[in-house]
Amino acid sequence: MNSRKGELTLSKVKIQFNGNPKAPLAGADVSLLSRENAEKVRAFHRTIDAYEPTPLARLQHLAQDFGLGEVLVKDESYRFGLNAFKVLGGSYAVAEILAHKLGKDISEVSCEYLRSQEARNAVGDLTFASTTDGNHGRGLAWAAEQFNQKAIIYMPKGSDPVRRDNIRAHGAECTISDLNYDDCVRMAWEKAQQNGWITVQDTAWKGYEEIPNYIMQGYTTLALEALEQMQAMGVDRPTHVLLQAGVGCFAGSMLGFFMSVFGENAPTFIIVEPEAANCFYVSAVANDGTPHAVEGDLATLMAGLACGEPNLTSWEMLRDYPVAYASCQDSVAANGMRILGAPLPGDPQVVSGESGAATTGFLQWVMQQDEAEEARERLGLDASSKVLCISTEGDTSPRTYRDVVWFGRRNL
C-alpha cells in the first residue's frame, strides 16, 4: 500500500482524502438544495402522472455481511418507467423554463397545465438540446414529449445504440457523434446557439448555470424520498452517503440536500468515480482549490460517469465537503451489479446498471478487502454505520447488464 499526502493507492481503487475539508455548512453554499426547495421540486414532480417514489431497498443481510449497521440502496430503476433517475432533472428544468416563459412560479403550474393547449400556444415552438451518455437525454426527450415540444440530443462516441433508440422512442432526434463527452457538450452548445435551441445540459460552466441548477434541484426529489423512507424504517439519518460522480451534478445535489437537512450532523460523503474519468479525484489530489479535467476517450464501463470536466456549481460543494474521493476500476462497479442483482437470501433484489452499482461495488471492496483496512478506519465505516447508496440506473444497457451479471464481464 502506498500512503502519501492522504492518498491510498490500492489494487483496484485509489482513495484520496480531502486535504482541505470544511466543517458542515462552513464552505460552499448549499441553500439551493435546501429541504424547502426540495419540497417545492417534489410538489411539481407529484403532478406528473408517472410519479411514484422509487423503493429504498434495505439490505440487512448484506449490511451484516459487510460488517455495517445498515446498507440502504435507493432503486432508481423504477423512476417514471425510464430506468434511471435523470428524468427528475430534465423534467424539472423544462418545467421551470416553461413556467418562466408563462410568467409563473413553478408552484403555480402543474404538468397538466404545462401540457395544455393554452400553455402550448403561449410559449410557442421550442427545441431543447443536449448531450447525453443516455440517461439525461432520455429524460429530456421524455419531458419534451410530455410538453409537446421538440428535443435534439447528441451522444458521445461509443454510446450504446440501444440507449440512442430509447431516446428516439420519445420522438427526439438523436445521433451518436465521434466526439468524447465534453467535446460533444461543446458541439451541442454551438449548434444550439446557431439555431436558437434551448440547451438543457446537466453540467454548468461560467455563464451557463441557471438551467443546470434547476437540474440539480430536480434530483432532490429522490433525496427527499430517501430521507422520508429511511426515517419510516427507523433510521434517523445516514452516517455515510456514497455518491457516484460524472460531472458531479448528481453528487452535488445529494450532498447539498443532506447537508442542508442535517447541518452539523451531516453524514460523511464519499465520492466514487471510474478511474478513466476521475476528475474530482484528480482535483482532490491537486488540492489547489481549482477543478482539474481529465481528457481523452474517458473509456469506462460506467458510461454515465464518463465525464472529464467537473460541473462548476457542484464543484465547490464537492471540493469542500466530501471526506474522500475513490477512483475505481471498472471491475468494482461490475461487482456492485452482481451483488445487487443476486442478493443474499431475504434481501430485496436491485437491478443496477454500471453507473448505478459503482458505489455498492466500492462499499463491498472497502469493507471486505484486507488491504482496505486503513481506508475503512479513516472513513469511519464500521458496525454502527448506516450507509446510503443510490442505484441511479437499472439495466439501461441490457446487453452490458447481462454480459456483466451472467457472463462475468469486468470491464469495457
Q: Which residues bind ligand PLP (CB under 6 A)?
A: 84, 86, 133, 135-136, 202, 244-251, 304-305, 307, 355-356, 392-393
Q: How far is the CB of 374 from ligand PLP (least distance, A)?
A: 27
Side by side, the strands of the sheet bearing 324-328 are 2-4, 7-9, 13-17, 324-328, 268-274, 240-244, 386-391, 70-75, 56-58
Q: How far is the CB of 173 from ligand PLP (least distance, A)?
A: 19
What grid cell was written down for 86?
Answer: 435523470
Tell me, yes or no, if 133 is annotated catalytic.
Answer: yes
Q: How far is the CB of 308 from ligand PLP (least distance, A)?
A: 11
- Distance CA(240)–CA(41), nearest Å, equals 24
Q: How far is the CB of 279 from ligand PLP (least distance, A)?
A: 10
Polymer length in residues for the chain: 412
Closer residue to ligand PLP, CB minimum distance, 347 or 393: 393
- Distance CA(276)–CA(229), nearest Å, equals 34
Distance of CA 5 to the CA centre of its chain: 28
Residue 82: φ, ψ to 5°: -110, 0
Place of cell 429511511: 230
Closer residue to ligand PLP, CB minimum distance, 247 or 339: 247
- Distance CA(153)–CA(175), nearest Å, equals 7
Closer residue to ligand PLP, CB minimum distance, 133 or 330: 133
The one catalytic residue in 14, 74, 86, 386 is 86
Tell me, yes or no, if 86 is annotated catalytic.
Answer: yes
Closer residue to ligand PLP, CB minimum distance, 305 or 405: 305
- Distance CA(174)–CA(151), nearest Å, equals 8
Ramachandran quadrant class, 6 (left: phi over 0; alpha: psi -120 to 50; beta: rest): left
| Exposed/middle/buried for residue 206 (C-beta within 10 Å: 0-12, 13-18, 19+) | exposed
Q: How far is the CB of 253 from ligand PLP (least distance, A)?
A: 8
Closer residue to ligand PLP, CB minimum distance, 37 or 244: 244
Q: Which of 20, 14, 11 is nearest to 320 (CA)?
A: 20
Q: How far is the CB of 186 from ligand PLP (least distance, A)?
A: 16
Task: Identify whether the C-beta of residue 113 lies closer than 8 Å to the C-beta of residue 119.
Answer: yes
Q: How far is the CB of 250 from ligand PLP (least distance, A)?
A: 4
Closer residue to ligand PLP, CB minimum distance, 15 or 271: 271
Closer residue to ligand PLP, CB minimum distance, 10 or 204: 204
The one catalytic residue in 12, 74, 133, 330 is 133
In sequence order, what DSSP letters do the residues of 280-322 get, joined into one string?
A: HHHHHHH-SSS-----S----S-GGG---S--HHHHHHHHHS-
Residues with a catalytic annotation lie at 86, 133
